[in-house]
Amino acid sequence: MIKYPAHTVVRSSSNHKEIIPLPQEKYPMDYMYSEDGKPVEHFSFCRYQLNIGILPSSYSFLQTQNISEDEYIKQYGYEWETLALVTNSIVPYLRTHYDFKEQSIPSGRGEFVSSENPYTKLLPKERNERFPIVAYGIAAIFAWNLDYDNNAEDFLLPCDDMALIQAYYSYRFNEYLSQHKYRKYAHLNNTEKEHLFIQQHIKEEQEHWSKSSRLESYPLLYQYTKAFVQEYIAFIELKQNEINMELSNSMPNTPPKNFSNVISQFDNMPDDRPKVFISYSWDDEDHKKWVRRLSDDLRSIYGIYTFLDQYNRGGMDLISFMNKGISLADRVLLIGTPIYKEKSEKFESGGVRYEDQLITIDIYNSIETAKFIPILRKGQFTTSFPKIIEKRTGYDFCNDLEYNDKLEEVAADILDKPLNAPPTVLSDISKCLFPQKK
């Protein structure tokens, strides 16, 4: 876009009542407009506008009317970008709006667009190209809270930095707690939940900031927002240290360790938790990280004791680990990919091939066993598992958006509380067929 004059900012008339303006009903960003134009984004506009001179789309009008840029600006005025916070998204973000020729698109400065508005029919990629998202997470909340002083030609934050930091942190943590209040999380206290939340939240906010690069179009706004995001990350890291100290102090004192006595995954196994061995191929680093996340989540969220080669200390024998792990496990998760199938069917040595031989022997000894659960990560069941496994009931984890739902299904299966369990059969059938007449 042509900046004319460059990066001029003026105060607008938008009013803000709260520093975190988020309603009870919230949706994932990718879910917006997915069902016949609903749910729609709810907008709350920033207190300032950014002068962009003339929109590229307006130049066709200049050509058809045969008028110059100066004549156009004299007649219609400058055109502006106005940023609006989407308040009903789980992760808040700033969406660009355009004001020109006495109109504002896409929402006409309204709180939301009608589900009949052509904007709602756009594909997400096209919507983001025409009306870009400029900031996510704490960066979006900070930029939305800023005010602008036309005389000083500078931004200011109407509240204290720490007040905004703590308010946003509390909002995100309470959101996390609301998603982790069920019985399957009962073994975690709030401090342990906050410890897990912070690990996840730091990564999320770093990713949000990396996607907020379009703010660089406005150097002063970018400079202030970047400094605030760094301040927020430092606050989270300090919180993390405090909680780590609290968890450490709550652990019972233990005598000095014998560092030559390396404890394996098979030592100190809980008797009251299901044990699960995870078989997979080392396709690439991203795949190994995904498998590690699956194992970690089964342990920390659902209390399932997993055996995973990535937990092994140096010097552990892999053949012994595979033999003992599959033997002791109540269930075995097989992470299927085309490479996993290829390695399991190759006539050469290797971890996947050896595990496949152990699994095949186990299945032949008890063909009706439900011990082995296929977990499809890539491809199809027929292209990602050996033939002895491909026809067994499994779970499809190819869609990352469905990860949490699928994780819950698998955990419920392992914990012998399957979500698809049939209802109890009526015990006294005579009452059903021949009810007593009064």
pLDDT at 7: 44
Q: Say if 28 falls within a structural domain.
A: yes
Look at residues 188, 210, 237 and tell me which one is the last residue of a structural domain.
237
Asked if 85 and 176 sit in the same domain, the reply is: yes
DSSP 292-338: HHHHHHHHHHH--EEE-GGGPPTT--HHHHHHHHHHH-SEEEEEE-H
pLDDT at 205: 94
Distance CA 349, CA 357 (A): 11
Q: What is the CATH number of the domain that holds 350?
A: 3.40.50.10140
13 is in which domain, residue-wise? 9-237
Distance CA 247, CA 60 (A): 64
**Which pLDDT tens digit goes with each residue over 290-305?**
999 999 999 999 999 9
Asked if 231 and 291 sit in the same domain, the reply is: no
Check whether 262 has a pLDDT greater than 80: no
Q: Say if 429 falls within a structural domain.
A: no
Q: Say if 209 falls within a structural domain.
A: yes
Asked if 214 and 283 sit in the same domain, the reply is: no
Distance CA 244, CA 428 (A): 56
pLDDT at 325: 87
Asked if 220 and 288 sit in the same domain, the reply is: no
* pTM for the whole structure: 0.55
201-to-85, 182, 193, 286 alpha-carbon distances in Å = 20, 20, 12, 20
Distance CA 208, CA 136 (A): 5
pLDDT band at residue 111 under the 50/70/90 scheme: confident
Check whether 259 has a pLDDT greater than 80: no
Check whether 73 has a pLDDT greater than 70: no
Over range 397-413, report the average pLDDT: 94
Asked if 226 and 279 sit in the same domain, the reply is: no
Q: Say if 3 falls within a structural domain.
A: no
Look at residues 215, 237, 259 and tell me which one is the last residue of a structural domain.
237
Over range 176-189, report the average pLDDT: 86
Q: Say if 98 falls within a structural domain.
A: yes
Percent of the chain with pLDDT over 90: 35
pLDDT at 16: 67
**Which pLDDT tens digit goes with each residue over 130-147?**
888 999 999 999 999 999
Distance CA 276, CA 302 (A): 12
Max mean pLDDT among 28-42, 234-248, 282-296, 385-399 falls in 282-296
pLDDT at 263: 74
Check whether 15 has a pLDDT greater than 70: no
Asked if 303 and 382 sit in the same domain, the reply is: yes
Asked if 344 and 231 sit in the same domain, the reply is: no
pLDDT at 166: 94
Amino acid at position 255, single letter: P
Asked if 77 and 177 sit in the same domain, the reply is: yes
Q: Say if 254 falls within a structural domain.
A: no
User: 342-346 long-range contacts, Cβ below 8 Å, gap at least 24?
Assistant: 343/281, 344/281, 344/385, 344/386, 345/386
**Which pLDDT tens digit goes with each residue over 199-216?**
999 999 999 999 999 888
Over range 188-193, report the average pLDDT: 88
Check whether 193 has a pLDDT greater than 80: yes
Q: Say if 178 falls within a structural domain.
A: yes
62: its two tokens: 């200049």
pLDDT band at residue 78 under the 50/70/90 scheme: low
Asked if 229 and 289 sit in the same domain, the reply is: no
Check whether 162 has a pLDDT greater than 50: yes
Nearest to 297 by CA among 216, 375, 389: 375
Asked if 342 and 232 sit in the same domain, the reply is: no
Asked if 317 and 233 sit in the same domain, the reply is: no
Max mean pLDDT among 36-50, 228-242, 344-358 falls in 228-242
Q: Say if 4 falls within a structural domain.
A: no
* Domain count for the chain: 2
Asked if 101 and 158 sit in the same domain, the reply is: yes
